[in-house]
Amino acid sequence: MNEAVDFKIVEAPAKPISMNPKKFGMWLFIASVMMLFMSLTSAYIVRQAEGNWLYFELPTLFLISCGVIIASSVSMQLGFWAAKKDQFSKIKTYVAITTVLGFTFLVLQYLGWKDMVSNSVYLVGNPSGSFIYILTGLHGLHIVSAIVYLLIVLNSASKLKISSSNMTQMEMCTTYWHFLGLLWLYLFVFLTLLR
């Protein structure tokens, strides 16, 4: 008696995709910041097309800020790589350099604003000036938040809490810093091309 045996191929259940909740929260925050700046730059384009627009050159200091933000991203990435190799003194050094460059960026932004004021471009008045102050000011506020995060990471690195086996904080800070660097480069190119 031959009995037919049914073989069923049972697939192992797929492992659910998971992400650290803190990283997920950070990505949601980055997405909301991107949406904010996309809406502001869209409003800029619409308002510029309506006329009554003051055309002026961006301060040269904003261009120098681009170099500073790129250098800070390089130092942040070097710190990240040092953390992956458990090079504790290098982590502290590179995060400290990034912090100093972050402060330098903010000083350059402030001096750029002073340059705009000396050229009679104000926050209140023509909307073209208002947009520049709002866009760069909001970006500056996010840089301040990132500097606070850098100081927290620097403190953790000093206490040897960041290592190749504990990278979450360093990873999140690096991602956020790179995002803000790219955001500044986008804003600079956008404002330069749409002058």
Q: How far apart are CA 44 and CA 71, in angstroms?
A: 29
Instruction: State the DSSP code for 194.
Output: T
Q: Which long-range contacts (CB under 8 A, 24 or more apart) does 91-96 make?
A: 91/157, 91/162, 91/170, 92/154, 92/157, 92/158, 95/150, 95/153, 95/154, 95/157, 96/154
- H-only helix segments in 50-87: 60-84
Q: DSSP secondary structure string, 112-135?
A: HHHHHHHTT--SSSSHHHHHHHHH
Contact 69, 187 (CB under 8 A): no
pTM score > 0.85 for this model? yes
Over 70: is that where the pLDDT of 191 sits? Answer: yes
Q: Tell me the domains of the chain and their CATH numbers.
A: 77-195 (1.20.120.80)
**What number is the average pLDDT over the span 131-152?**
97
**What number is the average pLDDT over the span 86-106?**
97
Show the tokens assigned to 166.
């504990």
- H-only helix segments in the chain: 21-49, 60-84, 88-118, 127-158, 168-193
pLDDT at site 125? 83
pLDDT in tens, 5-35: 566 666 666 666 677 889 999 999 999 999 9
pLDDT at site 84? 96
Q: How far apart are CA 174 and CA 79, in angstroms?
A: 9
pLDDT in tens, 145-171: 999 999 999 999 999 999 999 999 999
Between 4 and 141, where is the model more confident?
141
CB atoms within 10 A of CB 35: 10
Over 60: is that where the pLDDT of 2 sits? Answer: no
Contact 147, 97 (CB under 8 A): no
